[in-house]
Amino acid sequence: MSWVLDGQRIKAKYLGITVEGLVTYSRVKYGGEVQYTLQLDEELVLPWRTVDAGDTVFVAGSEVLE
């Protein structure tokens, strides 16, 4: 399995919340960890955030579930 997941749908953990969406960008961070930019299927509403809900998150490769 390649680490480049651009254009693929994934499920991952983000701040302890399971999210799903489309990978728009894959990169290797300084130090060797993989990071994905994930366009979410549904906006993410966080209980401690009072501004607009987010629709894009950065996910570590180690947090990808499927």
Contact 56, 42 (CB under 8 A): no
Distance CA 13, CA 64 (A): 7
Instruction: State residue 60's pLDDT score.
Output: 94
Q: What pTM does this model have?
A: 0.85
Residues 6+ apart with CB under 8 A from 13: 19, 59, 63, 65
Q: What is the pLDDT along the chain (66 residues), one digit of tens a residue?
A: 688 999 999 999 998 889 999 999 999 999 999 999 999 998 887 777 666 667 899 999 999 998
